[in-house]
Homo-oligomer: A and B are copies of this chain.
Amino acid sequence: MSLLVIGTLAYDTVETAFDKRDNALGGSAMYFSLASAFYTKPALVGVVGQDFREEDLAMMRSKGVDCTGVEQVDGKTFRWGGRYEPDWNTRHTTFTELNVLEHFDPKVPEQSRNAKFVFLANAAPAVQARALDQVDAPTFVMADTMNLWLDIALDDLKGLIRRIDGLILNDEEARMLTGEDNLIRAAQQVLGMGPRYVIVKKGEHGAFLMGENVHFALPAYPVGTVVDPTGAGDCFAGGFMGAVAEADSIEPNVLRRAMVHGTITASFCVQGFSVEDIGSRTRAEIDERYNELLSIVTV
């Protein structure tokens, strides 16, 4: 049931219509780790600079994240700035400072090379591939991506997609990757590119999973007040993979329940900036909301 995640750690400057945070803890693999840590003890591989706050590492460790693979190198931690329109659906990147991420060469620690479950969080596809090269014989590898890589590294990304078991992407990325407006047809096309499973995330409209012997769709948990959507997709993936690793199975029923868990961890994430909400939750709160969502979606 070992879970390994490779991706970014960052300091984010995020502005919404209502509030703002500077240099708040962020990054695809960081969000993923915290969400998956409700279910298992994930091993995190990533890179940070000399300015990375010891308290942030301590917080992750306290949640059960194995940070052995977090390499601290000379330079500054990756920084990203974003601004959301009031409708939450439009996000503007205000700045990107790659810093130590520019030369990120992931090194999977010896004790994590036999991981059964692997998540390649959003990063350059070539970096994701180099990380995957270092894992022996994983049972289930999923990868995330973003529109940037569809634009500038499409061939690398397509190569990676052929090597993984599942791809997770949002509606806009699914349309970009396939040129298909209809999301069902887009998902079918993704499956034709190699992976056995695809998850399409639709933000406030929920998510669906298509693949071998499974087709599952779920509305989002009804969050009354969204504070900051940053990291929601990573927390979805973390809840999903965490629940899969906990169950130590990719049976269709496990994947369905994992979709619900991903929806729940994402719903907590958007209720606060950075990890202000998700970082303060307990497994009991996760399970309570899981049951609440089940009651909402059960016919």
A184 closest partner in B (C-beta) = B222
Q: 1/0 per residue A252-263: CB within 8 Å of B?
A: 000011001000
Contact indicator B216/A182 (Cβ below 8 Å) = no
Residue A206 is within 8 A (CB to CB) of chain B in the complex: yes
- Name the contact of A297 in the complex, choosing from B224, B226, B297 (C-beta under 8 A): B297
Residues in B with CB closer than 8 Å to A226 are 182
Contact indicator A184/B223 (Cβ below 8 Å) = yes
Per the 8 Å Cβ criterion, residues 194-224 of A in contact with B are 202, 204-206, 208, 215-219, 222-224
Contact indicator A87/B181 (Cβ below 8 Å) = yes
Contact indicator A182/B299 (Cβ below 8 Å) = no
Residue A225 is within 8 A (CB to CB) of chain B in the complex: yes
A interface residues, how many (CB within 8 angstroms): 31
A210 closest partner in B (C-beta) = B222
Q: 1/0 per residue A263-299: CB within 8 Å of B?
A: 0000000000000000000000000000000111111
- In angstroms, Cα B110 to Cα A279, docked, is 64
Contact indicator B225/A219 (Cβ below 8 Å) = no
Contact indicator A206/B182 (Cβ below 8 Å) = no
Residue A185 is within 8 A (CB to CB) of chain B in the complex: yes
Contact indicator B216/A297 (Cβ below 8 Å) = yes
Residue A86 is within 8 A (CB to CB) of chain B in the complex: yes
Per the 8 Å Cβ criterion, residues 35-49 of A in contact with B are none
Besides A182-B225, A217-B219, A217-B296, 9 new A-B residue pairs in contact (Cβ under 8 A), listed by A number: A182-B226, A183-B222, A184-B222, A206-B219, A215-B222, A215-B296, A218-B297, A256-B299, A294-B299
